C-alpha cells in the first residue's frame, strides 16, 4: 500500500462564506437558494452567488439586531409562513406526493428544515420594518430624486453619443 492510498481522501463537506455575530453563512445555503430558484423556474443572474451572499449578510445583521431589540416573532407567524410555503410548493409541483418526492423528504421534514430559516427571515423583516417605519418621504422629494437621475442619465448618454 502506498502512502497516497493509505491516507483518507479529504472531502470538503461545506464552506463558511461569512460570519455575522454568532451566525454563519454556508456555501450550501447559497447553492440551495440558487437550486430552489432554478427548480421554480426563476431567472438566476450570473452574479447570483455574490448577490445572495450580500443579501444573506444583511439579513443576518438585521436578524441579530432584531433579537437584541427583542422584536417579537411568534411561533404562530413562523408556522403560518411555513404552511403558505408548503401550499405554494404543492401548487407548483401538483401534489403533496410530488413535492415530497422532489424534496426527498416528508412535509414534516421540509417544514422542520425550514423553520429556523423562516424565523430568521421574519426577524430580519421585523427589523427592516422598524428601521424604515419612521422614514417619511414627500412627493416633492421623489420627483426631485427622479429628475436628478434623469438629468444624470441624459448627461451620460450625451457623452456616449
Q: Which stretches of the chain are DSSP H helices? A: 3-6, 27-39, 48-68, 75-93, 96-103, 107-132, 139-160
**Average pLDDT of the residues of the chain:** 89
Does residue 40 have a pLDDT over 80? no
**Chain-centre distance of CA 109, in angstroms?**
20
Closest CA to 21 of 81, 80, 54, 62: 62
In the chain, what percentage of residues exceed pLDDT 90? 69
pLDDT at 4 over 60: no
pTM exceeds 0.95: no
Q: What is the model's pLDDT at position 106?
A: 95
CA distances to 18, 31, 56, 57, 152 from 53, rounded to whole Å, are 8, 10, 5, 6, 30
Q: Positive or negative CA dihedral for 125, 26, 76, 80?
A: positive
Name the residue among 116, 34, 105, 113 with its Cα closest to residue 73: 116
- Write the burial class of residue 42 (CB in 10 Å: 0-12 exposed, 13-18 middle, 19+ buried): exposed
If you average pLDDT over residues 26-43, what whole number do you get? 88
pLDDT at 7: 56
- In the predicted structure, residue 65 carries a pLDDT above the cut 60: yes
Q: What spatial distance separates the first Cα and last Cα of the chain, rounded to whole Å?
A: 70
**Does the pLDDT of residue 39 top 80, yes or no?**
no
Quick one: average pLDDT of 11-40? 89
pLDDT at position 41, please? 81
- Taking 60 as the threshold, does the pLDDT of residue 97 lie above it? yes
**Alpha-carbon distances, residue 147 vs 129, 158, 161 (angstroms):** 28, 16, 21
Q: Mean pLDDT throughout 88-110?
A: 92
Amino acid at each position: 500500500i502506498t502512502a497516497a492510498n493509505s491516507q483518507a481522501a479529504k472531502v470538503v463537506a461545506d464552506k463558511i462564506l461569512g460570519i455575522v455575530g454568532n451566525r454563519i453563512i454556508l456555501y450550501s445555503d447559497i447553492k440551495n437558494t440558487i437550486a430552489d430558484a432554478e427548480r421554480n423556474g426563476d431567472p438566476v443572474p450570473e452574479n447570483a452567488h455574490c448577490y445572495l451572499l450580500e443579501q444573506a449578510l444583511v439579513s443576518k445583521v438585521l436578524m441579530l439586531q432584531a433579537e437584541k431589540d427583542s422584536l417579537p416573532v411568534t411561533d404562530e407567524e413562523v408556522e403560518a409562513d411555513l404552511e403558505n410555503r408548503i401550499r405554494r410548493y404543492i401548487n407548483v409541483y401538483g401534489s403533496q406526493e410530488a413535492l415530497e418526492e422532489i424534496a426527498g423528504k416528508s412535509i414534516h421534514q421540509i417544514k422542520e428544515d425550514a423553520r429556523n430559516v423562516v424565523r430568521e427571515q421574519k426577524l430580519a423583516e421585523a427589523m427592516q420594518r422598524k428601521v424604515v417605519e419612521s422614514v417619511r418621504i414627500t412627493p416633492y422629494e421623489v420627483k426631485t430624486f427622479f429628475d436628478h437621475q434623469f438629468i444624470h442619465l441624459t448627461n451620460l448618454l450625451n457623452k456616449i453619443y
